[in-house]
Amino acid sequence: MSGTDKTKTPTQPDGPVVVLVEPQLGENIGMAARAMGNFGLRRLRLVKPRDGWPNMAAQRAAAGADHILDAVELFDSVEAAVADCSLLFATTARAHDQAKPVVGPEAAAGEIIREIGQGGTAAILFGRERWGLTNEEVSLAGRIITFPVNPAFASLNLAQAVLLTGYEWFKQATGGALPFAMPERSERASSHQMQAFFDNLVAELDKVEFLRPVEKRDTMLVNLRNIFTRMEPTKQDMHTLHGVVMAIAEGRKGPAKGGVLDSDGAERLRTLLAEHGDGHGGQDSGGSVRGLARLLRRNPTDAERILWKALTTDRRFAAQFKRQTPVGRHIPDFVSFIRRVAVEVVHDGETEVVARDRARRGEWLRERGYRVVELSAAAVERDLGAALDAIAAP
């Protein structure tokens, strides 16, 4: 279950006995056991469970608290179940008109810890799901526990009542220790590191004339510096902030650095590659062709992006096409080795060199049994369905 780590040593100080009186549903017993496990309670006693014991529904609902269910003790009466207890609490949402102390779960937890610390046995009674404990059963207890709830809607289910009392006891028994804390941060940034970062930030802001008007420059610098000093940044924080400032200052990365161009830039890239080395790396090695293919895949035009999304979602083509994949020394825009189809997207205003390069590529592919489909970028953007039909045509 989420949040459960069986590799950790459980925290299990000696706690009170939980006594469920005539529980009606196995699921409620299991959920109560789960609540007990959450807060280190181990001893569960059942008085005449309606559906008998053991109970598969309880095991399913316990969500891993099997160690509690395996050690359940069964009794035929409440008196027998609490006979060895020196301090007994009865939980109820109703006043039973009995002259005995009424406490909340926090105060009860304190008394339980003291009693167990002196060698006594403490127990908490929980009644039936439908009507709770009888007056006679409450009379066996020396204290009543009730919860600070909405008096107009005071009824809690069985597991909730067990959880609230278990929580208050465990919190006091363990000193409120939390199961984990914030990971240790790197050491605090030095004044020198802070100043170096701030100088770099100011230099970049000056380049874009952010610190204007001149008469407000000093005030703006003080405000900026206070933003970072209030953070009490670590050395790692400073490294990260410095990287952020430099990334913004240097602008979007070009394709050589792994970035992505917009559609116009992608079209210019293809033109440039076609005009220098025929778009295929000339007589370069296969490694150069693969590198070019990766570059083109990172930088699709708008029409290529639209068409690729359609090819990957249309049932006719699912998993059949690849984008910018080398076929020999050539790189068609899209290719299906299964269908023996190559698709070329023709962009407006392409140069004669680009057109000649595409024609040479198409001729090479047709000689090897590929059907070459040429689609204009404008047609793809205008009528995607027609473009897909053209690709699907036999």
Of all helices (H) and strands (E), which one includes residue 244?
Answer: helix 235-250
Domain finish residue from 113, 140, 173: 173
199 and 94 in a single domain? The answer is no
> Does residue 274 lie in a domain region?
yes
> Does residue 256 lie in a domain region?
no
Per the structure, the complete domain to which residue 233 belongs is given by 191-250
The string of pLDDT tens digits covering residues 114-128 is 999 999 999 999 999
| pLDDT band per the 50, 70, 90 thresholds, residue 279 | very low
Are the C-beta atoms of residues 387 and 307 closer than 8 Å to each other? yes
Amino acid identity of residue 188, one-letter, is: R
- The model's pTM is 0.51
229 and 150 in a single domain? The answer is no
Enter the tokens of residue 261: 């161009």
pLDDT at 276: 62
The string of pLDDT tens digits covering residues 28-86 is 999 999 999 999 999 999 999 998 998 999 999 998 889 999 999 999 999 999 999 99
206 and 324 in a single domain? The answer is no
The gap from C-alpha 267 to its chain's centroid, in whole angstroms, comes to: 38
115 and 245 in a single domain? The answer is no
Task: Indicate if the pLDDT at residue 134 is higher than 50.
Answer: yes
45 and 165 in a single domain? The answer is yes
Residue 284: CATH number of its domain: 3.40.960.10
Tell me the backbone φ, ψ of residue 308, rounded to 5 degrees: -65, -40
pLDDT at 277: 55
How many Cβ atoms are within 10 Å of 267's Cβ, its own excluded? 22
The gap from C-alpha 33 to its chain's centroid, in whole angstroms, comes to: 28
Of all helices (H) and strands (E), which one includes residue 172?
Answer: helix 158-173
The string of pLDDT tens digits covering residues 178-194 is 877 766 667 888 888 88
Enter the tokens of residue 214: 């001149």
How many Cβ atoms are within 10 Å of 218's Cβ, its own excluded? 10
- Measured CA to CA in angstroms, residue 53 lies from 26, 45, 130 at distances of 9, 12, 20
If you compute the radius of gyration of the chain from its CA atoms, what whole number of angstroms results? 37
- Measured CA to CA in angstroms, residue 377 lies from 12, 269, 306, 308, 331 at distances of 69, 16, 10, 12, 18
Mean pLDDT along residues 356-363: 90
Number of domains in the chain: 3
pLDDT at 85: 95
Any residues with CB less than 8 A from the CB of 26 and at least 6 apart, and which? 49, 51, 55, 56, 57, 58, 61
> Does residue 106 lie in a domain region?
yes
Q: Beta strands 322-323 and 73-75: pairing type?
A: unpaired
> Does residue 183 lie in a domain region?
no
